[in-house]
Each structure stands twice: as structure tokens, then as C-alpha cells.
Structure 1
Amino acid sequence: MDYPANVFIGKIKDYDGSRPSAIAKVQVDGELTLTEKGLVGDQQAEKKIHGGPDRALCHYPREHYAYWASEYPDQAGLFVAPAFGENLSTEGLTEKNVFIGDIFRWGDALIQVTQPRSPCFKLNFHFGITDIATQMQNAGRTGWLYRVIVAGKVSVDAPLTLVSRLSDVPVHDACAIAWHMPFDDEQYHRLLSAAGLSISWTRTMQKRRLSHKIEDNARRLWGR
């Protein structure tokens, strides 16, 4: 099945009380160049935690915006793509039917799902909602990230088409294993067995298996 996508890129800007970010993206048209680092013209402010080979593209389901608008009716106008800083916005693909390791064709390129997006505190400043990063994580409405398997020309007129499914771990389950369950070695092993899992998530899950502890996410979610 084909999934038409809106495409967005962003430039780094300053945020009062927070660090610079390129979360505020704009829609683009026509043909674009996709490299292993992402779309040409799309910037990331802090490449330790944003961008890189395993996080070259961010995808957010358009249908989630109705949920956020219902949660914040007074701010409903904020919740339209690409408010969560996504590069790709579609209808029909969600965390429940997209799996870790899925490979999609997009134009001349091939892209692979590597992990759920890990919400960070910059979302709190972007929306002016103090805990929306935590809410996003708790709701499992995170979207997901891709690596670029084959670079090439892509276009807003070229849909996403699933060409390979390599694991039995939906992005929804990856979120649940990482954030919603107590320590569970069997589930970490399941996630580690998912072909295509990012290096960052592989490292985190393996560390948990060795330490029998779940790391503190306060710095990521709250900036402290």
C-alpha cells in the first residue's frame, strides 16, 4: 500500500529559556535530496541527541493531532503538522502498524525504522506546555525515526511504500517496553532481537540487562 506524505524541513532558531532547536519546520514541495544524514536543507541543533545515521528522518502520524487538540482545546490551533518537528506526515501509518526494522521505498531512496522518537524537553518550550514531552511518551504517540539505507532523490509526489518487514516488534511495543513496563529482561531481549534497532536503543536496552536498572529520563524530559 502507498502512503502519500507531506514533507517538512527546519532551520535552527533560539528559544527563550531553552537551547536552540530546529523543531519549527516548514512544508516543502517538489524534489528533494535525501542523504544518509537526512534531507538536504534540514538542520539539527544538537547532533548528539538529534540527527545522525539512525535518526536521519522523523515521522509523525497526522491522525494524532486530533488527540492533542482534544487534550488542549484552548490551544487546538497549535496542533497541526509539523508541530512536533516531523519531516514526514502521513495518514494510515501509526505506532501500532509500523514495526522496528520496516523498510520503506520513498522515491529513489530506501529508509528503515530504527526506534520510536524519544520526546525531549524542547517540546515543552515549543508548545509552552510544561510537561508535553512526558505526556507524549506516556501516551505512546511518539512517532518514529529512520535511517537511510539507500540515499537518492525523493519527492512530495512519491509515496512511502513498505517493501520489507524484518521484526515482530511494533513501534508501539517498543515504547511500552522502554517506558511503560518495570524492568523486564525478556522484553529487552525481544526488542534487542528486532533487526534494524538503532545503536542508541541497542546500547540502552543492553545496559539495562546488565545493570538490572532503568535509567533516569528526567534530563531528557525536563532538561534537568
Structure 2
Amino acid sequence: MHYPVEVFIGTIRDYDGSRPSAIAKVQVDGELTLTELGLAGDEQAEKKIHGGPDRALCHYPREHYAEWMREFPDQADLFYAPAFGENLSTHGLTEKEAFIGDIFRWGEALIQISQPRSPCFKLNYHFGIADISSQMQSRGKVGWLYRVVAPGQVSSDAPLELVSRLSDVSVHEAAAIAWHMPFDEEQYHRLMSAAGLSVSWTRTMQKRVLSGKIEDNSRRLWGK
């Protein structure tokens, strides 16, 4: 399968009432350099929770925007790519069609889905909607992140081409296991067994198994 792609990069800016973020991105055309840490020129404000080898790129399905426009008509003019801070935007590839561990060829590079995107409170400030991060999570419309398996030159003119599928856990299922189920050790082990799952998500699921508890996500979602 081939998926034409739009490409976006961003720089860090300040937000009133919130911490700095590089969520506001701009479209770029032509050839770009993709390293193991992401696209040249793309910044992350808080590298402890954004960016890094397992979170080098963010992908958000463009088809979700129509639903957000219907839900928030007063902010409809905000809901166009890359409003969710994505680097890559496509049609035809959603959380239900994308799987943990999927490897795509993009130009000279190879990229691999590592985890669903974990929405954070900065999105609330970005859109001026108090609970949009929580709504993204509850609806499963979160997008996903990639690691870079093989760096190289990429381009907005080069489509994403699926070349390997390594697990049976879709991004949608991974999000459901993490956020929409009661404690379920069997499902946590299933998710951890998905080839390509990020270190941070593997660590989180393992902590649940060992502690018998689900962690509190309120700080991530609400900033409190």
C-alpha cells in the first residue's frame, strides 16, 4: 500500500498559561533529511516526554479533522493539518489500519510505528478547548509515533509504502488496551509482545503487571 503524505515541521513557541511547545508546525515541500531523531528543522520543547529515538515522527490521520470540525464548529477554522502537531498527514491510514511495528519505506528512509500518541494538556491550550486531549484519548483518535529504522533523504513527493507488518496489534487496539480497559494482565502482555513497541510503553505495561495498578494520567491530560 502507498499513502501520499504531507510533511510538517515546527519550532518552539510560548503559550499563555502553559509551557513552551513546538506543536504549531508549517508545511514543507521537497526533499528533507530524516535522522534517527526526526526531520531536520523540527524541534521539541520537552525532550523527556517528546521526541527521542522512539518518538522521532508524529502521524495524524487527516480524516479525523471532519469529526473535530463538526464537534467544535466555533473552532472549525483551526482543524486542518497540522493542527495536532503532526509531522506526517495522510488519507486512508487510521489507527485501525496501522499496526504497532509496521515498517514503511519513505524515500530513502525506513520508519516504524512504535506507539500511539499519548495526548497531553498542551493540546488544550493550543486549541483553546479545555478537554480536547482527554477527548482524543477517549475516542481513540490520537495518531501514532515512529522510530527511524534507517535514516536518509525523504520528500513530500515520496509516499509512505508499507513494507513489513510485524504484529497483530493495531494502534487502535494498543490505545484501547492502555486507556479503555480495566486492569488486564493478559492484554498487557499481548501489547508488550508486539514487535517494535516503544521502550516507554513497554516499561509502562510492565509496571502495571508488577504493581497491579494503572497509573494516573491526569497530569498528562490536564497539566495538574
Scaled by the length of structure 2, the TM-score of the pair is: 1.00
Instruction: Work out the CA distance in 1 between the residues paired with 2:98 and 2:128.
Output: 30
Q: How many residues align?
A: 224
What does residue 197 of structure 1 align with? 197
Q: CA RMSD in A?
A: 0.4
CA shift for structure 1 position 73: 1.1
What does residue 57 of structure 1 align with? 57
Aligned positions of 1:65-104 closer than 5 A: 65-104=65-104
What does residue 18 of structure 2 align with? 18
What does residue 127 of structure 2 align with? 127
1:36 aligns with 2:36: yes
Unaligned runs of 5+ in 1: none
What does residue 118 of structure 1 align with? 118
Identity rate of aligned residues, in percent? 80
Instruction: Work out the CA distance in 2 between the residues paired with 1:48 and 1:223.
Output: 15
CA shift for structure 1 position 74: 1.5
SS of the equivalent of 1:209 reads: helix
Scaled by the length of structure 1, the TM-score of the pair is: 1.00
AA matched with 1:143? G
What does residue 158 of structure 2 align with? 158
Instruction: Work out the CA distance in 2 between the residues paired with 1:2 and 1:218.
Output: 37
Instruction: Work out the CA distance in 2 between the residues paired with 1:83 and 1:101.
Output: 25
1:177 aligns with 2:171: no
AA matched with 1:77? D
Instruction: Work out the CA distance in 1 between the residues paired with 2:91 and 2:164.
Output: 20
Instruction: Work out the CA distance in 1 between the residues paired with 2:212 and 2:195.
Output: 23
AA matched with 2:62? R
- Greater than 6 Å deviation, 4+ residue runs: none
Unaligned runs of 5+ in 2: none
CA shift for structure 1 position 75: 1.2
CA shift for structure 1 position 201: 0.1
